[in-house]
Chain A
Amino acid sequence: MAGGSASLLEIRDLRTSFFTKRGVVPAVDSVSLRVGQGEIVGLVGESGCGKSVTSLSVLGLVASPGKIIGGHILYHGEDVLGFSAARMRELRGNKVSMIFQEPMTSLNPVYTIGKQVTEALRSHDRMVGSKEARLRAVEMLARVGISEPESRLEAYPHQLSGGLRQRVMIAMALICKPGLLIADEPTTALDVTIEAQILTLMRQLQREIGSSIVLITHNLGVVAETCDRVYVMYAGRIVEEADVFELFDRPLHPYTNGLLRSIPRKNEDESAPRRLYSIKGNVPDMARLPAGCKFAPRCERCVEACTRAEPELVDSGNGHFVRCFRPMSDEVKR
C-alpha cells in the first residue's frame, strides 16, 4: 500500500462476519483501504460484496448478527475499534458522517426537518442555543441548494421529494463539518437528473468544507464523475485499487474489466452488431465461498492455480494494486 501518514482514515485488515443460522458469513474479509485528506475515494462492487458493511463498520453501526471480529480502523491515527460508546457517539455525525441510500425512509416521519437537522448539531455541541441552531440549519439547507430554507424547517419529510430529502441528509451529515463523509449509494434511489445534481453538490461541498468522501456505489459512471481513487470489492475482499484514470485506462483485474465492458455503449460500427456483455455466473453465496480466488468461478482467465490458492494484493506500479494471478495485460483487455 502506498505510504501515508497523512491518511485521514486507514482501515487495516478489517474483518466483519455475520453469525447466521446458515453459518458464518465473512462479509468483510481482511479489507484494507485508505482515505487521504480532501480525497474522494470510491468503493465499487455489486450488491452483497461487503462495501456497505465495511462503511457501517467504521461507525460501529453493524447490526446483529454481524460483528467486527478483527482488524483496525484508524481515524487520524486512533483505532476506532477500541473506542468507548461515548467516544463513538462523539465520532458519529461529528467527525465522521454517513448518508444512506434510501432518502425516503432515512428520515424520521414524525419529526420536522428542522428538528432533525438541529438535533445533529446540538447533540454534539451543547453550547449552541436553539436560535443559533436554527440559523445554522437554515444556512446549511441553503448551502445544499434547498430553496426557501426557513419554511422547510417546519416541513415534514413526507412533504419533500426524494432529491430534497437527500439534500437534507447531506445537510445533516455536514452540519458539524466532519473530516470524513461516507456516502453509501447516495444516488442509487434517485432519478438520473437528480443524481447528477446531488453528485455535483457533493463535489462542491467537499471543496468548500474540505471533508474527504468515501463514495460507495455499484455504478462506474458515478465513480468516473466523482472519485479521485477507487477500490474495487468482490466477495468481501478488495481486488483492485487504483487512481481513477488509471483504473479506467488500465483495468487489471478481470472483474473490473468485466464491469467496464458491461457498461452499455453506443456501437460505432453498425454493420457488426454487438451483444450486451455481462459477466457470466452469479453473485456468490457468501456462506459458501470457494477456496482459492473467489472470482475464479466467473473468470474468463481462470486457470488451475486460481482455484487452489487465493492471490495476494500486488503492487503493479503507479499506486495500482491488483489481487490476481493473471491480471489483464494491454493486448488482452476490452
Chain B
Amino acid sequence: MKRYVFKKILVTVPIMIGMVFITFILLNVVPGDPITLMMREHISPDVVARVKGQMHLDDPVLLRFLRYLGGILHGDFGISYKLNRPVSYLLASAFPNTLVLTLAAALISWIIGIPAGILSAVRRYSFVDNFFMTFSLLGVSMPVFWSGLLFQYIFSLKLGLLPVAGLNGPLYLIMPAIVLGWSSAGTIARLTRSSLLEVMRNDYIRTARAKGLHEIRVIMNHALKNSLLPVVTVMALQVAGLLSGAVITESVFAIPGIGRVAVNAIQNRDMPLLQGSVVLTTFLVVAGNLVADILYAYLDPRIKYGATEAK
C-alpha cells in the first residue's frame, strides 16, 4: 500500500508540472504578444515598461517557463499587471473564500446525494426514486449561473430571507453553497444509485441473505461498502467540477474568491494573475485526484493487500 501511494505521488509531480507548462504556453506563446495586446488596450507606458522588464520577452520560452516554475516553488507567482501587487498575496486572500464555498458545497452534495442515491436504489421505480432522480437531473442540467440568479430573485429580492451577495458571514454562504452543491449532489445521487443497484446483483449479496441477515444489514453493511468505492472516487474527482462551478457562483454572488479573481484578470488582461489562479486551481484538482486514488486504495482491500494467492 505504501508503495502504491508513493508511486502515485511520484506520478503526480510530472503531471502537475506538465499542467503548469500547458497553462504557461497557452498564455504566453499563443497569438498575441502580450505587449502588443496591452498596447491595444491603451495601457499606460509605465506599465508597459515595467512589464517588459519583468517578462524578459527575448528569452527562449523554455527558459521563461523554468524561471516561472522556479518562482512558483518559492511561492513567487509574479506581479499583477493591473494591481501591481504580488499575485501570491492576491491569491492568498482569495483562496480561503473559495475553499469555504467549495467545502460547503461538497458537504451539501454528499449529505444529500448519498442518502438520496441509496433510497432511490432500494425503492427503485417508486415515487421516492423518481423524485430524487428528477432532483438530480435538474441539478445536472441547470446552468449554475441561472439557478443562482433564480435563488437570488426568489429568496433575496422577493422574499427577503437571505442576503443577495457578498461574503460577510455564514448566512451569505447558504445560497451559493446550495446552488453550487446541487449539481454535484445530482451526480453523486445518480452514481450512488446505479452503483448500489449493480452491487446488489452480486453473488455475495445473495450469500449474505442466505445467512439470514436482515435486509437492512445486507444493504448497509455488505452492499454499501462495495458500492461506495466508485462514489468515493467521484467525490474526490468532483473537486474539478466544483472549482469550475465556483468560478461562476462567485461571479453571481460576488464572492471574493479565486474564481472571481480569475474572471477579473481576464477582463483586465492581467496575465500573471490569471496564470497564478489557474495554476493554483489545477494544483487543487490534482491534489484532489491524488486523495481520491489513495482513498480508494485504502478502502478496497484488493488493492490494499494486493492479490496474493494462497493454496
Contact = CB atoms under 8 A, between A and B. Distances in A.
Contact of A109 (B206, B214, B302): B302
Contacts of B222: 108, 111
Interface in A138-174: 155-156, 158-161, 163-164, 169, 172
Contact of B226 (A88, A109, A123): A109
A94 interface: yes
Nearest to B207: A106
B129 to A, nearest CB: 15
Most-contacted residue by chain A among B204, B206, B210 (CB, 10 A): B210
Nearest to A60: B209
Given A110-B226, A158-B307, A160-B310, A93 B204 contact: no
A89 to B, nearest CB: 5
Contacts, number: 90
A120 B301 CA distance: 21
A93 B203 contact: no
A188 to B, nearest CB: 14
Interface residues of B, number: 28
Interface residue tally of chain A, by bracket? 35 or more
A108 B208 contact: yes
A158 to B, nearest CB: 5
A159 B215 CA distance: 28
A150 to B, nearest CB: 14
Contacts of B212: 88-94, 120, 123-124
Contact of B310 (A61, A89, A161, A172): A161
Nearest to A155: B310
Interface in B169-227: 202-204, 206-215, 217, 222, 225-226
Nearest to A169: B207
A98 interface: yes
Most-contacted residue by chain B among A59, A61, A156, A160 (CB, 10 A): A156
B301 A156 contact: yes
Contact of A158 (B210, B299, B301): B301
A109 B301 contact: yes
A102 interface: yes
Contacts of A85: 215
A201 B125 CA distance: 45
Contacts of A315: none
Interface in A43-62: 59, 61
A85 B226 CA distance: 25
Interface string A279-323: 000000000000000000000000000000000000000000000
Contact of B204 (A63, A109, A155): A109
A155 B305 CA distance: 9
Interface in A159-198: 159-161, 163-164, 169, 172
Contacts of A160: 309-310
A114 to B, nearest CB: 13
Nearest to B301: A156
Interface in B30-59: none
Contact of A59 (B210, B214, B308): B210
Contacts of B211: 92-93, 97, 119-120, 123, 172
Contacts of A94: 212
A107 B207 contact: yes
A94 B212 CA distance: 7
A94 B209 CA distance: 12
Interface of A: 59, 61, 63, 85, 88-94, 97-98, 100, 102, 105-111, 119-120, 123-124, 155-156, 158-161, 163-164, 169, 172
6 contacts: A89-B213, A92-B210, A107-B204, A107-B207, A110-B301, A156-B305
Interface of B: 202-204, 206-215, 217, 222, 225-226, 229, 299-302, 305, 307-311
